[in-house]
């Protein structure tokens, strides 16, 4: 009954996923420690900043792009979304001083034409008291705005394509509430790819 997946799932009221299999996973609220080491001590701070950005903007597991597997460090104490926004901006600029804030959104200051998924920007969605409600909201938005601009896996032009979503949604805890952190990556689409609609991608982000 607490399954955060789509309400249309046929197995939503059963004890088992209707796909008929289970996978090992980390339980919610599981505590763990990370020991960061480097052969060159001068690299510890740069690596620590990369790790902080990865933990805040990303997650672990197969559904990490849609809020699952999000990680909260015990040293983080965000009183409001401004604190969270400033933390993300400071961390990204410590890695590469190329980001700025406009209307509470984080953007890259310079253009980058690289053909790989670099960070274009970060925005924050609407807070929720219950993390499961937020996960359901993210799942429903994924269903409502399904489009190749948000990733694609399947056959196209006699080729098998697997393109991960360039929109990464993690969840941050802010003063006992939960906030979606929406990271937009550069869309490095393959040369042969289904027609996509960026307006649906934008609607997906706006719905959060």
pLDDT digits (tens, 9 = 90+) for 4-50: 555 556 555 555 555 556 777 778 888 999 999 999 999 999 999 99
What is the C-alpha separation between 66 and 62, in angstroms, rounded?
9
Rounded Cα distance between 138 and 5, Å, is 9
| Burial class of residue 23 (count of CB atoms within 10 Å of its CB; 0-12, 13-18, 19+) | exposed
- Which has the closest alpha carbon to 204: 123, 98, 130, 129? 123
Cα–Cα distance between 70 and 73 in angstroms, integer?
Answer: 10
pLDDT of residue 158: 85
For 1, 20, 24, 131, 139, the CA distances from 16, given in Å and listed in that order, are 11, 7, 14, 21, 18
Ranges in the chain, pLDDT < 50? 1
pLDDT of residue 115: 85
Task: Give the residue carrying structure tokens 């032009």.
Answer: 157
Task: Return d(Cα 44, Cα 153) in angstroms, integer.
Answer: 37
**In the prediction, which pLDDT does 25 show?**
76
Which pLDDT does position 28 carry in this prediction?
85
d(CA 83, CA 104): 11
- Count of CB atoms within 10 A of residue 109's CB? 9
């Amino acid at each position: 009954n607490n399954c955060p997946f789509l309400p249309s799932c046929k197995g939503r009221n059963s004890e088992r996923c209707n796909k008929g299999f289970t996978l090992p996973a980390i339980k919610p609220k599981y505590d763990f420690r990370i020991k960061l080491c480097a052969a060159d001590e001068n690299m510890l701070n740069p690596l620590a900043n990369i790790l902080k950005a990865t933990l805040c903007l990303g997650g672990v597991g197969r559904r990490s792009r849609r809020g699952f597997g999000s990680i909260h460090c015990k040293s983080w104490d965000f009183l409001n979304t401004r604190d969270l926004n400033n933390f993300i901006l400071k961390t990204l600029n410590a890695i590469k001083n190329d980001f700025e804030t406009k209307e509470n959104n984080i953007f890259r200051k310079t253009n980058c034409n690289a053909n790989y998924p670099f960070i274009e920007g970060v925005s924050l969605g609407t807070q929720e008291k219950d993390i499961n409600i937020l996960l359901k909201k993210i799942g429903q938005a994924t269903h409502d705005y399904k489009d190749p601009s948000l990733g694609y896996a399947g056959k196209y032009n006699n080729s098998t394509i697997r393109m991960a979503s360039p929109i990464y949604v993690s969840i941050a805890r802010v003063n006992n509430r939960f906030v979606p952190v929406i990271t937009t990556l550069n869309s490095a689409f393959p040369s042969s790819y289904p027609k996509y609609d960026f307006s649906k991608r934008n609607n997906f982000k706006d719905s959060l």
